[in-house]
Structure 1
Amino acid sequence: MAPDLPKAIALYFAGENNDEASVVPRCFTPDAVVHDEGHDIKGLQAIAAWKASSKAKYQHSIEPLRVSHRDGHTVVIGRVTGNFPGSPADLEFSFGLADGLISSLEIR
């Protein structure tokens, strides 16, 4: 059974799995920051470009497995399956929320 997720986070994962770049402005704040693979991606345009690039490169899907809360963040463990060594892999997605939208995301 999928964990119960805040609306913006559920929308983020649905967009990842359905390859919908249009979800970015509906789930991220305008000044959101994503930290992935050692890089910071800032703002909606950059996040949309990162999302499209990652999808093209890894052709991945994500299954949220567990959710917890730590230091003011919503932490989701997700099973990422795609075109990369070690697939599938369980990764940690740490979301900061502001006004119901994602203001920060760190993927580890």
Structure 2
Amino acid sequence: MHENQPRTSTTDTLPEVITRYLNAHHTHDTATAMTAFTRDATVIDDGNTYDGTEEIKAWLDRTATEFTYTIHLTDAQQTDATRYIATHHLEGNFPGGTIDLRYQFTLSDDLVERLVIEP
């Protein structure tokens, strides 16, 4: 396999910190989700940037109550030594009703340093 080609993964092969975050986020367990991030992590979601634990916690709390939706993993890839993409299909009461989102994780010292969520 060429070194720069993404490797398809399953939830079983995603790093523990990513599955911990995803599971906690899906169950609205903000405290556990926060354990996945570095202190100076950045999250970019819906065009907004959240820097550091206080902003990320506020974002997690808001997203847990803003809409009701179902979510399931449709694809997972490792793109390099520290980057992973987990694609999810969401259906719910948000504008448009369905969307596929790519959760792009960058890890540092086995924690999430950066998360970008976009279609």
TM (norm. structure 1) is 0.88
Percent identity for Structure 1 against Structure 2? 29
Aligned to 1:105: 115
Q: Is 2:66 the counterpart of 1:65?
A: no
TM (norm. structure 2) is 0.80
Contiguous gaps of at least 5 residues in structure 2 = 1-9
CA RMSD across the alignment: 1.6
| Structure of larger gyration radius | 2
CA drift of 1:61 comes to: 4.1
Aligned to 1:42: 51
- The count of residues paired between Structure 1 and Structure 2 equals 107
d(CA) in 2 for partners of 1:100 and 1:61?
28
More helix by share: 1
Question: 2:40 aligned to 14, 31, 35, which one?
Answer: 31
**Counterpart secondary structure, 1:52:** helix
Distance change >3 Å, CA 49–CA 61, structure 1 → 2: farther
Letter in 1 for 2:27: N
**Counterpart secondary structure, 1:85:** coil
Question: 1:86 aligned to 88, 93, 96, which one?
Answer: 96
Which runs of 4 or more aligned residues in structure 1 lie more than 3 Å from their structure 2 counterparts after TM superposition?
Answer: none
CA drift of 1:49 comes to: 0.6
Contiguous gaps of at least 5 residues in structure 1 = none
